[in-house]
Amino acid sequence: MNNIKGKKAMVLGGTSGIGLAAARQLRDEGATVIAVSRSGAIDGEHDGITLESCDVLDRDALSQLFSRHAPLDYLVCAATGGPRAKGPFAEMDLDEFQDSFAKLWGYTNAVRLGLEALTEDGAIVLVSGSPARKCGPGMLAISTVGNAVEGFARGLVPEIAPRRINVVSPGLIDTPMVPLKGQERVEHFQKATAQQPIPRAGTPEELAQAIVLTLSNPFMTGAVIDVDGGALLP
C-alpha cells in the first residue's frame, strides 16, 4: 500500500468507529488525513489527523469544506447522516423510515460535491452494511438504505471513470454505535454472531483494512467488499 504515501484523504464520519480506524490507517500509511464529523470531536488518539466539523446534510458547509481542502485523492464516506429506524415495518412510523435515508442523502451530497475536489485518478469508498443483502427481522429500513447505497455506487462507476468508487459492507462491528455496556454488551455480540463462521463481532480496524485496500488498488471500481465474518452465507 505504499502508493498511499503522500496522498490526501478526507474521511466523513472519521472521528469514531470505522471512520476513525480508516483515518488512522491512512495516516499510518503516509497520507494527509482530514477527519470530519458533526461535532469535530474525536474518540481517542488523533496525532497527525486534521479535525473538521461539518454536517453532511448541509450542502453549503460541505461545499466550503471541500474547497478548503481541495485537491483530494481519496474520499471515504462513513457518516450515518442521522438515526436509523428498526422494528417491524408494519408497525413502523413512516417518517422514521424516511429519516433513515439521511445516510443516502449524506453520501450523495458528499460524492456530488466531493467530485469537484477529487483528482482525476482519485477514489471514493462508501460504507453500506450486510443487511443490504441479508435482511434480518426489524432491519428493513437499514436494508433498503444499504441497497440504495450499493446501487448508487455501481451506477455511478461509468460516469466518473477513471476516478473510482467502491463499497465496503460491514457485518456486526464492535463500535460506539452499539450503546450497550459491560456484560450486556458482551452477551449481545455473542448472541448476534453465534451462527456465523467467525462467531464474534468485527473490529473497526478490520473494516478499515478493506477501506484502505479499495483506495490503494487502482484496478478496483464498482466492487462491494464484504467484511462480515461470513454473515451473508446461508
Residue range 82-110: mean pLDDT, rounded: 94
In tens, the pLDDT along 22-42 reads: 999 999 999 999 999 999 888
SS3 (DSSP) at 178? coil
Burial class of residue 120 in the structure, from the number of CB atoms within 10 Å of its CB (0-12 exposed, 13-18 middle, 19+ buried): exposed
In tens, the pLDDT along 162-201 reads: 999 999 999 999 988 888 888 989 889 999 899 999 999 9
Asked if CATH classification 3.30.70.100 holds for the domain at 2-227, the reply, yes or no, is: no
DSSP conformational letter for 39: S
pTM above 0.85, yes or no: yes
Report the chain's terminal Cα–Cα distance, integer Å.
33
Residue range 84-96: mean pLDDT, rounded: 94
C-alpha closest to that of 27 among 48, 1, 57: 48
For cell 450523495, name the residue. 108
| Torsion, CA 180, CA 208, CA 97, CA 112, rounded to 10 | 150
For cell 417518517, name the residue. 95
SS3 (DSSP) at 100? coil
CA angle 100, 208, 66 (to 5 degrees): 65
Specify whether the CB–CB gap between 61 and 55 falls below 8 A: yes
